[in-house]
Amino acid sequence: MDPEGSGTGPGASPRRADRPLRILAVAVQKGGTGKTTLAASLAVAAAEAGERVTALDLDPQNSLAGWGTLRTNGSVAVDRVQPWEIGQLTAILDLLAAQGTTLAVLDTAGSATGLAPALKTADFVLLPVRPSRLDIVAARPTLKALVGVGLRGRLALVLNQCPPPPSPRTTTYADQLRALGVLAEPGIIHRVDHQDALATGLGVTEYAPGGPAAEEIRALWGWIDVKMRATAAR
Ligand SMILES: Nc1ncnc2c1ncn2[C@@H]1O[C@H](COP(=O)(O)OP(=O)(O)O)[C@@H](O)[C@H]1O
Ligand SMILES: [Mg+2]
């Protein structure tokens, strides 16, 4: 894992510290790492923390949008961006900003589909990976793409679906990523609450508000929030 290059690449979009809308993309070019699961629960946790959240499903598989149709709580707006609408993503985000959305969470496909436009618009990108070599190696193309659009300092990997501690393997990967300055914390442990929450149209903080999975997701949103504010201020 070696994010190369630095600074703002030629494809970078202008980022304004004063923009009322912040854009968090959840992306890595590998399926099954937990993008949709984390996007959904982070969107809910951010709304609970006071953000006006729109979650946008950019994945043609529409898992996040399907979750949205199960929701009865309107705290998070959930919408799809179809592949043929991807060229209008900036305009869609401008409209959301004008309508008062303060945080857009973009869930992306585990392939290159729609990825470049999502990454270009993002203020911060979260890359969920399982604590396995295959996942971490698979994150490299996404990291390269992020560096290419000037997001080197605006990305973090989060270890997801971790075995319950103590797990020397998780600790080893966490130490490596932390040393590179690209680890989002805390890591998220594999818990069925995440699966049951998603299956019922809930974020895990709604499904089991007092549980450890909810606690981890709240803490992860807190970490991302602080990091996004710090990088926007630079
Ligand atoms: N922290 C977690 N604990 C338990 N199961 C999880 C966790 N994160 C993801 N999963 C499960 O892993 C599978 C893949 O997750 P998903 O969010 O669909 O990944 P992606 O969107 O990256 O393809 C799903 O069955 C989901 O319920
Ligand atoms: Mg998904």
| Residue boundaries of the structural domains of the chain | 22-232
Collapsing DSSP states into helix, strand and coil, what is residue 79? strand
> Is the distance from the beta carbon of residue 31 to the nearest atom of ligand 1 less than 6 Å?
yes
Q: Is the CB of 161 under 6 A from ligand 1?
A: yes
pLDDT confidence of residue 112: 87
**Each residue's pLDDT tens digit, 2-52:** 333 333 334 444 444 455 899 999 999 999 999 999 999 999 999 999 999
User: Which pLDDT value is given to residue 146?
Assistant: 94
Phi and psi, residue 135, nearest 5°: -70, -40
Q: What percent of the chain has pLDDT over 90?
A: 88
pLDDT at 15: 47
Mean pLDDT split into 10-residue runs, the chain, 234 residues: 35 52 97 98 98 98 98 97 96 96 98 90 97 96 93 96 96 97 98 98 98 98 97 80
What homologous superfamily does CATH list for 22-232? P-loop containing nucleotide triphosphate hydrolases (3.40.50.300)
Q: Which atom of ligand 1 is nearest to the CA of 189?
A: 1
pLDDT recorded at residue 11: 41
Residue 188: the pLDDT is 98
Give the pLDDT score at 105.
98
Share of the chain above pLDDT 70, in %: 91
Which residues touch 33 (CB under 8 Å, ≥6 apart)?
110, 128, 129, 130, 135, 160, 161
Give yes or no for residue 130 CB within 6 A of ligand 1: no
| Protein residues placing their CB within 5 Å of the ion ligand 2 | 35-36, 63
Ligand nearest to the CA of 217: 1
How many A from CA of 84 to the centre of ligand 2? 19
Probe residue for ligand 1, chosen from 26, 37, 134 as the CB with the greatest number of ligand atoms within 8 Å: 37
Cβ atoms of residues 188 and 158 within 8 Å? yes
Q: Ligand 1: does its nearest atom lie under 6 Å from the Cβ of 37?
A: yes
Contact indicator for 158, 190 with CB cutoff of 8 Å = no
CA–CA separation, 3 vs 220, rounded Å?
22
Supply the pLDDT for residue 6: 35
